[in-house]
């Protein structure tokens, strides 16, 4: 069905052209599920987008063959590619919120490919869209047909993307990191949905991910890419059980496992560093023409817990459960709150989830790091500069990074800068909000070990917010579980993982594949 041979992709720059994919070979038979894994920048998405015909013809030079049902897509005209795209080959992108049109209703977007490739009446389009929404397990499809993307959860938006991709019953579905930003329970549901689609429809799937655990659970064959080249390929069992290449072994070794890395902290003789007492929080009421009289709703409801000096506490739960809002409330970032928050040291600092959106793109790293000290007003320029260099050193970056801008750094390097920024004022407590969820497994492993090192050497306590229960198990000695704005369970890691009391905690652990 699909055979790619000797694919080269070159970005034609005015200064120096850069080859980003070399000698790429891939064969997919009808009904097969093949995975491509590798770190960010390895060429996974670039290769997939070339297969889908989505690369620019203006500044992308492509050589080789992409044969789909006997036709070389690299030689196809734009009009011919438009006939194939969305009909024979469809793609699911990583971030549904940016892939879906925010001003179009869900039903309209699912119908779009049908309007292009089929001659159907409005009523037939609607019936087909609702039937597909039901097939991908979107509940209450008839009413959600009229909704907008912002009115749906992340998991439902991803199901909408899948429905839109499948509406014309394509022969090949390309899934580009479709589960990366999803919670463990939603991720498991999407994987099961893709398996069912493959089984019932016979749709071949090219699944791209840096999450090796997901690839192993879904795919029959896997290709490993590094720096634009396929360095290893074979059956999933062969590659995962007997990897030949050191790069593959490093990827597999870095997969988070239910194994302890950090040493547990005995809190009996430690002083409290933070007390959260019966805290509720809500966002300000939104009023206006489009949302008249919208009621306020508590995003956090009556949360209470205590943290002690030097301990690492995990705060887990699905997206929308209130984890991030609770972290912002602790930092005083929300106005509309109830309850009491007691800080026994200076105000904690925060590491945000997205290292790309957290740093000012127009400023140098040195300027960014020195900013909190400038605002503080207690340091001379030389003292600020020396402090910034010292913090960079603590996170494993040398002083040459001071003059660079964020765009010149990799994702892992940017997250290290974000950690250094959080350290600038010498906090005793850091709130880390999903600090590794957007990172590749190898970079994720490095950042986790860095956080443990800072905890041990500087005695900094961490409130680690995450939906990844494997990472939380590696790091944390106590766990807090949130659902629908409320804390439903908390206790030591042993108690929560081995003796969960709440059904929701049991569901999370089951979805993450945890066994005693």
* Domains of the chain by start residue, with CATH: 1-88+173-253 (3.40.50.300), 95-169 (no CATH), 257-281+303-348+427-516 (3.40.50.300), 356-426 (no CATH)
Supply the pLDDT for residue 106.
94
- Decide if pLDDT at 41 tops 90: no
**Among residues of the chain, what percentage have pLDDT more than 90?**
60
CA distances from 467 to 17, 418, 471, 479, 482 (A): 40, 20, 9, 12, 10
Categorise residue 122: left if φ over 0, alpha if ψ from -120 to 50, beta otherwise. Answer: alpha
Cβ count within 10 A of residue 32: 19
Structure confidence by residue, pLDDT tens digits, 109-163: 999 999 999 999 999 999 999 999 999 989 889 999 999 988 887 778 888 999 9
Q: Which helix (H) or strand (E) holds 10?
A: strand 2-11
Are 36 and 223 a contacting pair, CB within 8 Å? yes
- Model confidence band, residue 20 (pLDDT cutoffs 50, 70, 90): confident
Q: Are 305 and 480 in contact (CB under 8 A)?
A: yes
Lowest mean pLDDT among 295-304, 382-391, 393-402, 469-478: 295-304
User: What one-character-per-residue DSSP string does 32-86 give?
Assistant: -EEEEE--TTSSHHHHHHHHTT-S-SSSEEEEEEEEETTEEGGG--HHHHHHHBT
Residue 267: which of 501, 500, 495, 491 has the closest Cα? 491
Neighbours of 475 (CB within 10 A): 25
User: How far apart, in Å, are the Cα atoms of 156 and each of 151, 311, 317?
Assistant: 10, 36, 17
Per-residue pLDDT averaged across 243-265, rounded?
84
Q: Which two tokens stand for residue 53?
A: 């015909």
pLDDT at 318 over 80: yes
Q: Torsions phi, psi of 25, nearest 5? A: -125, 135
Q: What is the pLDDT of residues 206-224, one digit of tens each?
A: 999 888 888 999 999 999 9
Region of poorest pLDDT, from 44-53, 389-398, 432-441: 432-441
Q: What is the mean pLDDT of residues 323-346?
A: 91
Percent of the chain residues past pLDDT 70, beyond the cut:
95
**pLDDT tens string 95-114:** 777 789 999 999 999 999 99
Cα-based angle 19, 21, 23 (whole degrees, multiple of 5): 115
pLDDT beyond 80 at 314: yes
How many Cβ atoms from other residues are within 10 Å of residue 308's Cβ? 20
pLDDT at 14: 52
Strand partners, 372: none
Which range among 103-107, 181-185, 286-290, 299-303 shows the weakest confidence by mean pLDDT? 286-290
Sign of the Cα pseudo-torsion (281, 357, 91, 203, in order): negative
Q: Of 20-34, 36-50, 164-178, 232-246, which gets the smallest average pLDDT?
A: 36-50
Kindly list the distances between the CA atom of residue 335 and the CA atoms of 234, 280, 281, 285, 325, in Å, as whole numbers in the listed order. Answer: 55, 11, 8, 12, 12
pLDDT classification of 15: cutoffs 50, 70, 90: low
- Distances in whole angstroms, Cα of residue 311 to Cα of each of 150, 322, 473: 37, 22, 14
* Residue with the larger pLDDT of the pair 289 and 116: 116
pLDDT at 155: 77
Residue 132, both tokens: 């597909």
At residue 181 the predicted structure's pLDDT band, cuts being 50, 70 and 90, is low
pLDDT at 45: 86
Residue 407 pLDDT grade (very low, low, confident, very high; cuts 50, 70, 90): confident
Q: At what angle do helices 154-166 and 184-201 cross, to 10 degrees?
A: 20
- Tokens 């913090």 map to which residue? 391
Structure tokens at 268: 């009996």
Token digits of residue 87: 């009909």
- Does residue 365 carry a pLDDT above 90? yes
Torsion of Cα atoms, 12 then 17 then 22 then 25, to 10°: 10
């Amino acid at each position: 069905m699909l055979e790619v041979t000797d694919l080269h992709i070159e970005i034609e720059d005015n200064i120096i052209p850069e080859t980003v994919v070399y000698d790429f070979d891939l064969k997919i038979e009808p009904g097969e599920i093949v995975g491509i894994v590798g770190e960010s920048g390895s060429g996974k998405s670039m290769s997939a987008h070339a297969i889908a015909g989505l690369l620019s013809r203006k500044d992308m030079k492509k050589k080789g063959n992409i044969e789909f049902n006997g036709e070389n897509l690299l030689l196809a005209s734009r009009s011919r590619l438009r006939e194939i795209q969305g009909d024979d080959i469809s793609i699911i992108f990583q971030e549904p919120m940016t892939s879906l049109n925010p001003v179009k209703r869900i039903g309209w977007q699912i119908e779009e490919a049908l309007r292009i490739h089929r001659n159907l009446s409005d009523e037939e389009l609607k019936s087909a869209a609702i039937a597909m929404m039901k097939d991908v397990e979107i509940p209450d499809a008839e009413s959600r047909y009229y909704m907008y993307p912002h009115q749906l959860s992340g998991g439902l938006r991803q199901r909408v993307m899948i429905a839109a991709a499948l509406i014309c019953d394509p022969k090949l579905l390309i899934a580009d990191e479709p589960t990366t930003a999803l919670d463990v329970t939603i991720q498991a549901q999407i994987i099961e949905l893709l398996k069912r689609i493959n089984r019932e429809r016979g749709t071949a799937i090219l699944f791209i991910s840096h999450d090796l655990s997901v690839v192993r659970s879904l795919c029959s064959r896997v290709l490993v890419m590094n720096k634009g080249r396929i360095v290893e390929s074979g059956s999933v069992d062969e590659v995962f059980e007997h990897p030949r290449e050191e790069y593959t072994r490093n990827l597999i070794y870095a997969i988070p496992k239910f194994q302890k890395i950090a040493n547990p902290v005995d809190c009996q003789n430690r002083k409290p560093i933070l007390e959260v007492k019966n805290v509720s929080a809500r966002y300000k009421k939104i009023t206006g023409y489009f949302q008249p009289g919208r009621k306020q709703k508590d995003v956090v409801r009556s949360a209470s817990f205590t943290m002690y000096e030097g301990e690492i506490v995990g705060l887990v739960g699905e997206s929308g459960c209130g984890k991030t809002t609770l972290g912002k409330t602790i930092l005083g970032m929300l106005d509309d709150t109830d309850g009491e928050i007691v800080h026994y040291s200076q105000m904690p600092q925060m590491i945000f989830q997205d290292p790309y959106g957290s740093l000012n793109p127009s400023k140098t790293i040195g300027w960014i790091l020195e900013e909190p000290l400038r605002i503080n007003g207690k340091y001379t320029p030389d003292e600020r500069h020396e402090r910034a260099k010292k913090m960079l050193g603590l996170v494993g970056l040398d002083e040459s990074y001071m003059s660079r801008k964020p765009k010149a750094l990799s994702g892992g390097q940017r997250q290290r800068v974000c950690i250094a920024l959080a350290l600038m004022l010498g906090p005793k407590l850091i709130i880390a909000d999903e600090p590794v969820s957007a990172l590749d497994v190898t970079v994720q492993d490095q950042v986790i070990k860095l956080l443990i090192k800072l905890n041990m050497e500087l005695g900094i306590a961490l409130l680690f917010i995450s939906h990844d229960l494997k990472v939380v198990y590696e790091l944390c000695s106590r766990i807090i579980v949130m659902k629908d704005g409320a804390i439903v369970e908390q206790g030591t890691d042993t108690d929560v993982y081995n003796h969960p009391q709440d059904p929701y905690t049991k569901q999370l652990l089951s979805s993450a594949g945890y066994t005693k």
